[in-house]
């Protein structure tokens, strides 16, 4: 049965509107971007995660990745946990997680573990944190020696848009920049590669078209536009985009795309 461990410091409850968690949960359930990211990430996890896995998804919000991993891993998982600094997100995830997944309310800048896990995930998390180096150092301490951290972040400044501001991103990352950051926090970089390459021109066009609409928009109008853009597309369109994104899973792990809207890094604690 799932457990629920609470912490005193819950900073994301102050930063996020509960409506965004509901939107996130809907997207994680079927949006082509999440479907594509999960498949791309799973390929790396199957290759690099220690066995049996003792894995924690840090900043995992409503639990979409944990649910997907539990059902699709294809390798032994000894322990699987969802950790987030928002109790609201963890509560929303409670009825969607498989049996046996523990939930931990933690401060991502003051994790309670030392050498506890052999696999960890920071999936589109550190771009929200001003002191991203401290977040990585905390995960380094939480991992056992030889443990592996999987990180995804939004990539490349040229893709910056109003949507990054709406999502409260602090930055987007170049591959070399993320590698230097990780090495400075004590990690060995096993792999770092861009993804969401094939659909990147579509994203640029979409952001350019919408940016003109938000110049003079109110905060509520921007929120409504963001919710519209983040809604799951009609089924035929969503399936088509998921199929295009899905082509990156075999291809993108054999060659390195020169760019992409996202970046995956696989890091090891020596």
3-state secondary structure 40-69: HHHHHHHHHCCCCEEEEEECCCCCHHHHHH
Closest to 123 in 3D by CA, of 149, 100, 97: 149
Q: How confident is the model at residue 217 (pLDDT cuts 50, 70, 90)?
A: low
Q: List, for residues 140-199, the tens digit of each pLDDT value.
A: 999 999 999 999 999 999 999 888 888 889 999 999 999 999 999 999 999 999 999 999
CA gyration radius, the chain: 18
Helix (H, G, I), strand (E, B) or coil at 85: coil
Q: Domains of the chain: which residue ranges?
A: 4-268
pTM > 0.85: yes or no? yes
- Is 4-268 assigned to CATH 3.40.50.720? no
Backbone angles phi, psi at 118, to 5 degrees: -105, -5
Q: List, for residues 40-51, the tens digit of each pLDDT value.
A: 999 999 999 999
Q: For the residues 5-30, what does the mean pLDDT come to?
A: 60
pLDDT at 2 > cutoff 90? no
The residue written with tokens 């998921």 in the block is 242
**Residue 214 CA: distances (Å) to CA of 209, 211, 222:** 10, 5, 6
């Amino acid at each position: 049965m799932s457990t629920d461990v609470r912490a005193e410091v819950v900073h994301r409850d102050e930063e996020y509107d509960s409506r965004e968690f509901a939107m996130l949960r809907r997207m994680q359930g079927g949006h082509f971007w999440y479907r594509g990211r999960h498949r791309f990430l799973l390929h790396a996890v199957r290759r690099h995660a220690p066995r049996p896995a003792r894995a924690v998804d840090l900043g995992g919000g409503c639990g979409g990745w944990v649910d997907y991993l539990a059902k699709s891993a294809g390798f032994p998982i000894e322990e699987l946990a969802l950790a987030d600094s928002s109790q609201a997100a963890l509560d929303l995830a409670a009825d969607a997680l498989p049996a046996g997944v523990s939930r931990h309310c933690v401060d991502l800048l003051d994790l309670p573990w030392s050498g506890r896990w052999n696999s960890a995930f920071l999936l589109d998390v550190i771009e929200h944190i001003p002191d991203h180096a401290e977040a990585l150092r905390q995960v380094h301490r939480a991992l056992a020696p030889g443990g592996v951290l999987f990180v995804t972040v939004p990539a490349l400044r040229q893709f910056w848009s109003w949507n990054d501001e709406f999502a409260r991103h602090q930055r987007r990352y170049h591959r070399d920049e993320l590698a230097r950051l990780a090495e400075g926090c004590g990690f060995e970089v096993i792999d770092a590669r861009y993804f969401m390459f094939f659909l990147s021109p579509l994203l640029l066009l979409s952001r350019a078209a919408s940016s003109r609409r938000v110049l003079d928009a109110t905060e509520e109008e921007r929120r409504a536009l963001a919710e519209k853009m983040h809604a799951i597309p009609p089924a035929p369109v969503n399936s088509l985009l998921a199929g295009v994104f899905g082509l990156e899973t075999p291809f993108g792990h054999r060659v390195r795309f020169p760019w992409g809207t996202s970046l995956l890094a696989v890091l090891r604690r020596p």
